[in-house]
A and B are shown apart, each in its own frame.
Chain A
């Protein structure tokens, strides 16, 4: 396959216009000793051959198309209406660049504006940006905002140990060059115990909603303590849960971030996903990433444009607080399409299905001798099960019955050896769940 359209004649005509004898001559400034190395990459294939190879690679994976999936932990298998993909495949959307030229980018700009509007409703915040790379980097960027809001006078960042371990790792990667103290997650802590850690050096505290274990913690309690100490509350929220449960804004969050993947984006082995980021109005000028605003053109006609641009790296350069440029634009469009199609009632129905099915499965497992479901807090669509055997062994048994079981929590939480995190969405049928329970029973 080649997408180069040139004919020999055209190449000759072009070289003549340039005044170069050969294409090789155009590279005379490249150090001669290193010019034109061989590339040890297999020769070109035809489209048919490529498709066959990629199909074979794809089928060498155990995926949710063939297996009953009960795994979440930050990536969720939800129903995606057909039209989402059809609209994403409009070349006018996916082969466009970042909308720097508003006159020829109103489609992308208006879609982002609608995305921001829907995310504001979902989170209960005042404003949302056009996206970050994923939920984890959204949280890392929230840390930067909190430190800016505190004018660098506070350096303590409190992370709940119940936030996704990978998110906490990403925060540490991003901020390893700074002088922040990132703490709070060094030991198991309840919501109240975490809130006790907030002091006058704390720039922000972050909690999950639900937390990594699917549980709904008392966000208001943390909000009160944080605000009394002058710290920001950052809530990491699952957007599907927000269709049913109170918004972080209502509970007192200053910034809400999270993984937008559940909103119409396939699992795709971890990416591309969508880091959403929403905040209260007073922080809008301090956040990173692209923001679209409404304005008018020179004839007074409504128009959309990227705004508050002087925050960004291409203008502020070394004084910018983040280097983000390319974000996850098309994934934000996917979420917009999904939210528009699911709509007010459809999204709520999906969330309710998740809730009811998860509770059905939890009750069924709880009825099994030797398995215990953690009921210490209310949960949405994920829950923790204490198992009678190592999770790895149980998952091997499940796989034989066409089931991908839950995540083994022991790896990231030493106190939770033999504990499994299970997830249920609207995609899981009662029959699948009954099969899971039956297999767990046999695997005791």
Chain B
């Protein structure tokens, strides 16, 4: 059933909330500055509850469905994390509370920085970036600042493999650098000859995802890092796939200079239907002075007190602030809770089982589907969503058909270098029965593609809405359900623009 827009169930004069009476004498309001009306819904509390419960039921979610969305690490989001993040001592703590009065949260931040540094082998971590993309921005700004500090202003190129996330080249442009795309070889590794040709004294660095977006450990990674370092560039690791690496290998030990973590992928903080996340960045000693701040630090060991006094500092040559305050602290608390749940050895088990699950699906589907790089994969693998002799069926159709079986589609059409790509990441929290069911469904869909392709090309059949008209959405823009307010000034402005 379609759920009305909240404005459509609004009744003039209704109110859900009651507030206390004003307990002070009322001040005079400046009438000339006040607005005449505000068009917000007028509904009861029960109406709000039913409306949003009904909306929630229209979503696939980890709590309902298997969600093998490659490069997104849709693992189970532990419930205790939601409780710890909501403890009053965190939830009601003002960001500008004096350091002496916020030792609990500062201690948590300091410890989390230390643990994240230990997982990656880096010497320092800033938790400030709000998402992976902001972590990338921080990383490339640090690389820029590092070269400029040394007077090396000609370095303006960042090498980016053609399998990279779109955020990588977009970040490079944001910083005012040029993205130089590198091809991959037939095994999915960076093409070393192309890399050698691109390495010169204009290279500021390279951004690379490990394991790659194809779900592969690049066999030449040490050579790649050596070549870039040799020409004076720095190495940025996109940590989106860190779920394959915990206790397996430390990026800093491989030679990386900087990376971002996605706490909303590897460390189980929920995706929230599109955020909030946290894209903390880790760096080696070279880049430590440039970290975005503020970061938690031990600022004083007061002899009067048994515990060290934690504080917030701006690193010496910091690229600056990325957010108004200290980052998405609610995500720090969830990630801290998660790491505390597993311990160091447990984190290694996470990565081992994430990789086991992905290889199990790969091994059991590679007869029915083309797996272009059919070797041991990391925590995810890519296969082609197309079949020989069946022209009309695409990766998108397989994705949509999965919905009819109650499974969220894998990432499709990414990475761009695999035709009709389906990127499958099961994560470690799924049990064998769930994987077996997915495998059976995928085999059935492969069969349907050959015998009844319409079942795929018209899919989904069982969802409340069918495929949507995206062209209409973009051409006849409807972004708001109410008439937009009309002001005289707007018309004047439009005439100005014409003039």
Q: How far is the CA of A125 from the CA of B484 in the complex (A)?
A: 7
> Are A296 and B468 in contact (CB-based, < 8 A)?
yes
> Are A407 and B96 in contact (CB-based, < 8 A)?
yes
Residues of the A chain whose Cβ atoms lie less than 8 Å from the Cβ of B118? 39-41
Q: Could you show 30 A-B contacts with beta carbons less than 8 Å apart?
A: A6-B353, A13-B432, A17-B364, A26-B359, A31-B221, A44-B341, A74-B324, A75-B96, A86-B49, A91-B62, A93-B56, A93-B272, A94-B77, A101-B399, A102-B465, A103-B466, A104-B60, A106-B59, A117-B480, A117-B481, A130-B274, A136-B323, A173-B322, A250-B487, A297-B467, A303-B468, A307-B479, A308-B474, A326-B264, A356-B24
Interface presence of A343 (CB below 8 A): yes
> Are B80 and A340 in contact (CB-based, < 8 A)?
no
Residues 461-487 (chain B) with a chain A CB within 8 angstroms:
463-470, 472-474, 476-482, 484-485, 487
> Are A266 and B91 in contact (CB-based, < 8 A)?
yes
Interface centre among B93, B362, B464 (most CB of A within 10 A): B93
Query: Looking across the interface, which residue of chain B has its beta carbon closest to that of A232?
Result: B493
Query: Looking across the interface, which residue of chain B has its beta carbon closest to that of A17?
Result: B363
> Are A270 and B48 in contact (CB-based, < 8 A)?
no
Residues of the A chain whose Cβ atoms lie less than 8 Å from the Cβ of B470? 295, 305, 307, 309
A90-B56, A94-B272 are contacts. A291–B479 as well, Cβ < 8 Å? yes
> Are A120 and B480 in contact (CB-based, < 8 A)?
yes
A26-B359, A346-B16 are contacts. A118–B40 as well, Cβ < 8 Å? yes
Contact of B341 among A1, A134, A179, A280 (CB under 8 A): A1
- Among the 9-residue stretches A152-160, A187-195, A241-249, the one with 4 or more Cβ atoms under 8 Å from chain B is A241-249
A107-B59, A318-B170, A319-B173 are contacts. A133–B130 as well, Cβ < 8 Å? yes
Per-residue interface assignment for chain B, residues 40 to 78, with 1 indicating a CB less than 8 Å from any chain A CB and 0 otherwise: 111101001101110111111111110101001011111
Contact of B27 among A164, A307, A356 (CB under 8 A): A356
> Are A302 and B93 in contact (CB-based, < 8 A)?
no
> Are A90 and B89 in contact (CB-based, < 8 A)?
no
Residues of the B chain whose Cβ atoms lie less than 8 Å from the Cβ of A131? 275
Q: How far is the CA of A156 from the CA of B397 in the complex (A)?
A: 49
A121-B485, A266-B91, A327-B275 are contacts. A23–B479 as well, Cβ < 8 Å? no
Residues of the A chain whose Cβ atoms lie less than 8 Å from the Cβ of B77? 91, 94-95
Residues 116-148 (chain A) with a chain B CB within 8 angstroms:
116-118, 120-122, 124-128, 130-131, 133-137
Q: How far is the CA of A250 from the CA of B492 in the complex (A)?
A: 12
Contact of A173 among B250, B320, B472 (CB under 8 A): B320
> Are A323 and B136 in contact (CB-based, < 8 A)?
yes
> Are A58 and B87 in contact (CB-based, < 8 A)?
yes
> Are B355 and A59 in contact (CB-based, < 8 A)?
no
Interface presence of A53 (CB below 8 A): yes
What is the distance, in angstroms, from B157's C-beta to the closest C-beta of chain A? 12
What is the distance, in angstroms, from A174's C-beta to the closest C-beta of chain B? 7
> Are A250 and B174 in contact (CB-based, < 8 A)?
no
> Are B27 and A36 in contact (CB-based, < 8 A)?
no
10 smallest beta-carbon distances between A and B, as pairs:
A270-B325, A58-B89, A329-B274, A91-B63, A60-B104, A330-B272, A270-B95, A177-B176, A39-B344, A359-B27
Residues of the B chain whose Cβ atoms lie less than 8 Å from the Cβ of A83? 45, 48-49
> Are B247 and A90 in contact (CB-based, < 8 A)?
no
> Are A346 and B329 in contact (CB-based, < 8 A)?
no
Query: Looking across the interface, which residue of chain A has its beta carbon closest to that of B217?
Result: A29
Residues of the B chain whose Cβ atoms lie less than 8 Å from the Cβ of A252? 487, 489, 493
Interface presence of A166 (CB below 8 A): yes
Interface presence of A316 (CB below 8 A): yes
> Are A293 and B473 in contact (CB-based, < 8 A)?
yes
Q: How far is the CA of A339 from the CA of B88 in the complex (A)?
A: 23
Interface presence of A317 (CB below 8 A): yes
Query: Looking across the interface, which residue of chain A has its beta carbon closest to that of B23?
Result: A430
Interface centre among B86, B90, B331, B429 (most CB of A within 10 A): B90
Interface presence of B83 (CB below 8 A): yes
Q: How far is the CA of A389 from the CA of B368 in the complex (A)?
A: 78
Interface presence of A315 (CB below 8 A): yes
- Among the 9-residue stretches B3-11, B193-201, B227-235, B387-395, the one with 4 or more Cβ atoms under 8 Å from chain A is B3-11
> Are A96 and B61 in contact (CB-based, < 8 A)?
yes
> Are A271 and B276 in contact (CB-based, < 8 A)?
yes
What is the distance, in angstroms, from B162's C-beta to the closest C-beta of chain A? 10
Query: Looking across the interface, which residue of chain A has its beta carbon closest to that of B109?
Result: A269
Interface presence of A234 (CB below 8 A): no
Interface residues on A, range: 35 or more
Per-residue interface assignment for chain A, residues 31 to 55, with 1 indicating a CB less than 8 Å from any chain B CB and 0 otherwise: 1001111111111110100110111
Q: How far is the CA of A355 from the CA of B253 in the complex (A)?
A: 57
> Are B19 and A79 in contact (CB-based, < 8 A)?
yes
> Are A250 and B485 in contact (CB-based, < 8 A)?
yes
Query: Looking across the interface, which residue of chain A has its beta carbon closest to that of B319?
Result: A173
> Are B274 and A271 in contact (CB-based, < 8 A)?
no
What is the distance, in angstroms, from A426's C-beta to the closest C-beta of chain B? 6
Interface presence of A357 (CB below 8 A): yes
Contact of B42 among A57, A125, A345 (CB under 8 A): A345
**Total interface residues on B, using CB and 8 Å?**
210
Interface centre among A37, A322, A404 (most CB of B within 10 A): A37
Interface centre among A29, A37, A116 (most CB of B within 10 A): A29
Interface presence of B216 (CB below 8 A): yes
Residues of the A chain whose Cβ atoms lie less than 8 Å from the Cβ of B61? 91-96
Q: How far is the CA of A352 from the CA of B337 in the complex (A)?
A: 40
> Are B27 and A355 in contact (CB-based, < 8 A)?
yes
Q: How far is the CA of A312 from the CA of B165 in the complex (A)?
A: 12
> Are A328 and B276 in contact (CB-based, < 8 A)?
yes
Contact of B17 among A36, A69, A81 (CB under 8 A): A81
> Are B343 and A4 in contact (CB-based, < 8 A)?
no
A50-B340, A269-B102 are contacts. A327–B466 as well, Cβ < 8 Å? no
Residues of the B chain whose Cβ atoms lie less than 8 Å from the Cβ of A321? 174
Interface presence of A15 (CB below 8 A): yes
A4-B350, A81-B17, A299-B466 are contacts. A127–B479 as well, Cβ < 8 Å? yes
Per-residue interface assignment for chain B, residues 281 to 325, with 1 indicating a CB less than 8 Å from any chain A CB and 0 otherwise: 000000000001000000000000000000000000001111111
Interface presence of A114 (CB below 8 A): yes
Interface presence of B417 (CB below 8 A): no
> Are B94 and A404 in contact (CB-based, < 8 A)?
yes
Interface presence of B205 (CB below 8 A): no
Interface centre among A51, A134, A340 (most CB of B within 10 A): A340
> Are A337 and B137 in contact (CB-based, < 8 A)?
no
Interface presence of B161 (CB below 8 A): no
Residues 256-306 (chain A) with a chain B CB within 8 angstroms:
259, 266-273, 280-282, 284, 290-299, 301-303, 305
> Are A290 and B274 in contact (CB-based, < 8 A)?
yes
Q: How far is the CA of A98 from the CA of B264 in the complex (A)?
A: 12
Contact of A65 among B89, B103, B344, B496 (CB under 8 A): B89
Query: Looking across the interface, which residue of chain A has its beta carbon closest to that of B45?
Result: A83
Per-residue interface assignment for chain A, residues 220 to 256, with 1 indicating a CB less than 8 Å from any chain B CB and 0 otherwise: 1001000110100000000000111111011110100
Interface presence of A333 (CB below 8 A): yes
Interface centre among B144, B173, B482 (most CB of A within 10 A): B173
Residues of the B chain whose Cβ atoms lie less than 8 Å from the Cβ of A416? none
> Are A43 and B468 in contact (CB-based, < 8 A)?
no
A36-B248, A94-B272 are contacts. A3–B429 as well, Cβ < 8 Å? yes
Interface presence of A201 (CB below 8 A): no
> Are B468 and A90 in contact (CB-based, < 8 A)?
no
A227-B496, A269-B95 are contacts. A101–B105 as well, Cβ < 8 Å? no
> Are A269 and B325 in contact (CB-based, < 8 A)?
yes
Interface presence of A376 (CB below 8 A): no
Residues of the B chain whose Cβ atoms lie less than 8 Å from the Cβ of A328? 130, 272, 274-276
Residues of the B chain whose Cβ atoms lie less than 8 Å from the Cβ of A150? none
Q: How far is the CA of A314 from the CA of B487 in the complex (A)?
A: 36
Contact of B346 among A2, A135, A433 (CB under 8 A): A2
Interface presence of A400 (CB below 8 A): no
Interface centre among B51, B141, B325 (most CB of A within 10 A): B325
Residues of the A chain whose Cβ atoms lie less than 8 Å from the Cβ of B62? 91, 95-96
